[in-house]
Structure 1
Amino acid sequence: MAKIALITGATAGIGEACAHLFAREGFDLILTGRRQERLDALAQQLNSTYNVRIAVAAFDIRNREQVLHHLDILPDDLKQVDILVNNAGLSQGLDPLQNGSYDDWDTMIDTNIKGLLYVSKLVANWMINNKKGHIINLGSIAGKEVYPNGNVYCATKSAVDALSKGMRIDLLQHGIKVTAIHPGAVETEFSEVRFKGDKDRAKKVYEGFTPLTAEDVAETIWYVASRPAHVNINDLVLMPTAQATGSMIYRG
């Protein structure tokens, strides 16, 4: 029987790269995201390439009712989830706190913290019933170090760091692993989303050095997910070689 991975935010970037990698390794997949057409295209591609079972659920992770509805109606056999990759997350704006947007703050808090909690509670209970599971939360170097104008985004990723530690304690007695992965600069849609579609500004974030790719992070996620049952990697930070801290990058 194939193992099952549930990946949030699978329509682009790290989530999409994880979908390809886990499918290649023979996992059946539950893929979530907001863009139905992208989910459908990805599912068709993965199914034809790897001949694995794919279920998709299009919803906004900020909406608790949508999260609970779309995951609850999945077939019971797909609720035997082995790996949950809490990848869905974003940043909005890059402003000093005093100039920040209330709407941007709400979007980041509702996505990066509350959305992660909605999915994690439901799936953790499936894992408890199944007596197995591994939750992998996507944090950020921003959750380890605050950088200029990062304020609320950094706070949300600090929350992911703390929640990962809390989950690990709470789920310990059930034998469920919890890992937090904290990447540095990764060239995906992240900066384009942060700058609300300004592609030129987003491109400048990665000029002068080689950033991580979505595939680099996905391979790291697969590494921690594929350790033996008695081994858990609690916390892992990965950075481009050119990046020393959240805000210090050598652009040679």
Structure 2
Amino acid sequence: MLGIIGGSGLYKLENIKIRDEVYVNTPFGGPSSPVIIGELEGKRVAFLARHGKDHSYPPHLVPYKANLWALREIGVNRVLAISAVGSINKLFRAGDFVIIDNFLDFTRKRDSTYYEGKFSAEVEGNDEVARLLREKKVVHIDVTEPYCPQVRNSLMDILEEKHFKYHPAGTYACTEGPRFETAAEIRMLEKLGADVVGMTGYPEVVLARELTMCYASLCVVANPAAGISGYRLTSKEVLELMAEREENIKEVIMELILKLPEERSCGCDKVLEGAEV
């Protein structure tokens, strides 16, 4: 099942038949919102609001581990994350879609792994994830290709068909937040190869990968980053841009639900092979 994690400005999905709304209590605490389970033309889908229904979780306090675990518990094996970003690459303009393919992590205080050796949480289940946690294993996953190529290719096909302006690759720099970055920080990130900047992409991507989920992120450029914009950045600007693109975002999501192949051919499900110490 595909799970959608909605970012700033995307708190619900229309056009799907709602089958259930569940609040999953996980070994890592409660998720940021109940999980909506729906159906579109016979295909099941789950939706979770990253920041909560009323945007009550700032980026540095989002319960990322609980969110991904809750989706896993209800049968999600693929995740599409929607995020608003600032553009560092001057070719990326407000309103553009970006299908990111790599990341730089500049967060500082976030819990970014399930596998904590002898300190691992007690969990139930019989799959490989549960075994590694139950046996208190140390695990090092490969993140050479952190974003699922199969889901990314499906997104590209959809964006091409709809003639939406998009960039097929880009490096996402994740900062701690909740403040916006300084102009000096953006200059540094530009020199390091970042194309866009945001506050929520990490550790979400690696946590999904640790659970052998496919994970892709569809980013929407909300504004130029600090020092590039030439003006003071505001949250209002981000939300207004996301509101303008909301219908386009939902169009892409609906098409992905319908067109994503049932069989996973990407290898994301094999990430734990050889990762155990």
Q: What is the TM-score normalised by the length of structure 1?
A: 0.39
More strand by share: 2
Alignment TM-score, normalising by the size of structure 2 = 0.36
* Higher RCO (CA < 8 A, seq sep 6+): 2
- Kindly indicate which of the two structures has a greater share of residues assigned to helix: 1
